[in-house]
Amino acid sequence: MIKAAVLGATGYAGAELVRLLAGHPDAEIAYLASHSYAGRRFSDIYPGMRGVVDTVLSEDSIEKASECADVIFLALPAGLASSSVTPEILSHSAVIDLGADFRLHDKDTYEKWYKTEHHSPELLAQAVYGLPEIHRRSIAGKRLVANPGCYTTCSILTLYPLLKHGLIRKDTIIIDAKSGTSGAGRSEKVTSLFCEVDESIKPYGVASHRHTPEIEQELSEAAGEEVVVQFTPHLVPMNRGILSTCYARLKDGVTEADVAAAYGIYDGEPFIRIIDTLPETRYVKGSNTVDISYRIDGRTGNIIAMGAIDNLVKGAAGQAVQNMNIIFSLEETTGLSVGAGSPF
């Protein structure tokens, strides 16, 4: 059995991770920590887990976690992972960081977008970007995995085949993405209150959202040259889910058959469905699945590629478990749902 530790276990992503690990046939929870709720039972914070996970929460300590865990999941605010992960920790435990500290290859880019110091830039070269459908071979056996962000997972996977096969003009990419409120985290914020969110939709982080350089980094690698995108996220009044609608101009002569062949790169991927209908977040809710569809507008010459995920599963905890499965040579789908939590 893989012994797992979760730091930041009572945030939304952390709690979803605990739920998935509790049902994983090849893993057991060895250590749960929460700065806000240390000393209380996990099931006191999330009563739906009574009798399932009644573990008493510890104070966040990656050192203590490394003494008892084969893998440590970090669901912590930006800056904390880079100040706590060390070569010694990695010699004891694999680390999967659900935060942003090891996602970007360049320290200066990280500090510019996240407005905080990166405390262990020497580890950036050791970290692998944990998007399995693209970096599966690099993840296997790795000790430090940077779990991708939710907007980025959806947007990158939706656009990746088009750039990998050189089908779109890289200077025309616009990403219009929408997320449920759980993406903002569990901490108290006026902008996340029910009365502030319900019956409304709003853009935020316009031309400044932190996931932008992460998307550009991975799409640039796919294209083999620098890619700059226009990314605008929106908050919608639902609990969970992300829908990314991506626009780009097709290169001259590109046909629908070319596009279909490009998306064939995902054939056999257990968590990606290329669908004929338009994606909806309700059909991936609770699952680790990505639904992707596209339409070509013959009038404008644009392609509209659309992707939907559950931001807390494929966009966070589910992908983290998928990465754990790869690291420890388990079947990738172990402990994860490939169908929605509800059929409607």
Q: pLDDT tens digits, residue range 130-140?
A: 999 999 999 99
Please indicate whether residue 150 is annotated as part of the active site.
yes
Q: What is the C-alpha separation between 239 and 319, in angstroms, rounded?
A: 19
Q: Are β-strands 230-235 and 202-203 bridged in parallel, bridged antiparallel, or unpaired? A: antiparallel
Q: pLDDT tens digits, residue range 71-119?
A: 999 999 889 999 999 999 999 999 999 999 999 999 999 999 999 999 9
Q: pLDDT tens digits, residue range 7-59?
A: 999 999 999 999 999 999 999 999 999 999 999 999 999 999 999 999 999 99
- Whole-model pTM? 0.96
User: Which uninterrupted H or E stretch holds 260?
Assistant: helix 256-263
Domains of the chain in start order, with CATH, are 2-126 (3.40.50.720), 151-309 (3.30.360.10)
Cα separations in angstroms, 249 against 82, 165, 171, 224: 39, 14, 9, 18
Cα separations in angstroms, 49 against 111, 113, 215, 271, 325: 38, 36, 35, 26, 23
Query: pLDDT: is 270 or 182 the higher one?
Result: 270
The catalytic position among 68, 150, 154, 195 is 150
